[in-house]
Amino acid sequence: MTRLPEPQDPLFRRLNASISFDIRLWPQDVRASKAHARALRRAGILANDELSAIERGLETVGAELEAGTFEVAADDEDIHMAIERRLTELAGPVGGKLHTARSRNDQVATDLALYVRERAERARELIVALMSRLLALGERHADWPMPGYTHLQRAQAIYLGHHLLAYFWMLERDAIRFDFAARSTMALPLGSGALAGVDWELDREEVARELGFARPAPNSVDAVANRDFALDYVTAAATCGVHLSRLGAEVVLWSSEEFGFCQPADDFSSGSSIMPQKKNPDAAELLRAKAPRIAAAHSRLLGVLHALPLAYSKDLQEDKEALFEATDQLELCLEAAERMLAGLSFNRERLAAAAGDELLAATDLTDLLVRRGMPFREAHGVIGGLVREAVARGRRLSELTPEELRSHSELLDEEYYEVLRDGAWIESKRSAGGTASGRVAEQLDRARAVLSAIREEGA
């Protein structure tokens, strides 16, 4: 019974109910409820036989939910009340004792923190699998020349392995963000009550240890109002989704006939309903399109939390669908990205032909003049003039004669042609983090060490 004598309007019940989506929190609710029951026993609120009855009842409820045989009643507003209602049907009136020293406010916050921690750890596992795939591809294609791009225009030659490893390092940052999201769940809300604490001296330290939290939340108001951990997860998910969208976009471009750099596997492509010749990179395209969907979940959760007064408001019920959307879509995309890359094949000849465009060596020619004492900006203009002349005459840079070179600068001699020698301008990028073979080898070694460390931290 509550202070409200009138039954709720059916329309309000529809608006107010959340069991259609928060039912997925049942494993966390059952787990936290068991820990709470044991805390009640330690505080002398439950007798041994009462604790046993509650634990048996929760086991049965959990089994029903897992098997899909749990029947939701018309009055079940959310999964938390549904579990308590079913527990009382199974265990009798003692089931009603479980909610002693607990509010739905600290109960829901605890369940959600457990859920976020599990999903953050799962995201990290999937990221590690994708990093491992990228590392293997980087090793296999460490010496495959390709053009690097700025503004989607050919810029400088690099190795394919170097390019692929760029995504490895993006994902390392994603793993760090999800690790932070998992750590941000480590203050236990349970025991904070509705907002002010509870009237019972519970051993919150023991409950925290049992549920894997680092400590009880030190402030009961903050504990029930806090959704930062959910925001940390969706922030990490939105960023990771953007990274995956960039990977997908490049696969879409590279697999087109215009580029011809790669070919997706048949089992991660689709055909056309009307054009028999088509092989569409749908998986890569969907990686692009899923990113804003995940980002929208981030914006949605920010909107729920924005300007929300302390401590608890019903607005916080709206945090879950945004979070669930982000977890579902991100995990799907991470798994799909790894599988897509596993079947991706690259066209070495097409990549090499594009990387052989001598215009990609223009910066190296500029540096040749700089080494001979010419200021960089002046050298930049000289080589720009050479490029214009070669393009106008329809010739490669190496096809310009020594006389034509000297007409632009007396500093240009036979070494000009050495710079343009096949592959020389890739190997010249020997600065730390560059694309020269030795630097790519160092990068691969470092990537292996980083991946091993991440795996050990997650073990």
DSSP 397: G
- Alpha helices by DSSP H, listed for 255-401, are 282-305, 319-342, 348-355, 362-371, 376-393
- The letter for the amino acid at 304 is V
Interatomic CA distance for residues 38 and 256, integer angstroms: 61
Interatomic CA distance for residues 226 and 220, integer angstroms: 10
Give residues with Cβ within 8 angstroms of 221, minimum separation 6.
Answer: 192, 195, 196, 310, 311
Residue 422 CB neighbour total at 10 angstroms = 12
Report the DSSP pairing between strands 187-188 and 215-216: parallel
Active-site residue identified among 99, 255, 269, 272: 272
Nearest alpha-carbon partner for 416 in 371, 446, 350, 353 = 371
- The letter for the amino acid at 366 is T
Two tokens at 12? 């309000």
Concerning whether 408 is annotated as a catalytic residue, the answer is no
Give residues with Cβ within 8 angstroms of 32, minimum separation 6.
Answer: 107, 110, 111, 114, 190, 211
Q: What is the 3-state secondary structure (H, E, C) of 31-57?
A: HHHHHHHHHHHHCCCCCHHHHHHHHHH
Task: Look up tokens 């500029």; give the residue.
Answer: 366
Active-site residue identified among 36, 80, 103, 151: 151
Concerning whether 151 is annotated as a catalytic residue, the answer is yes
Q: Which residues are catalytic?
A: 151, 272
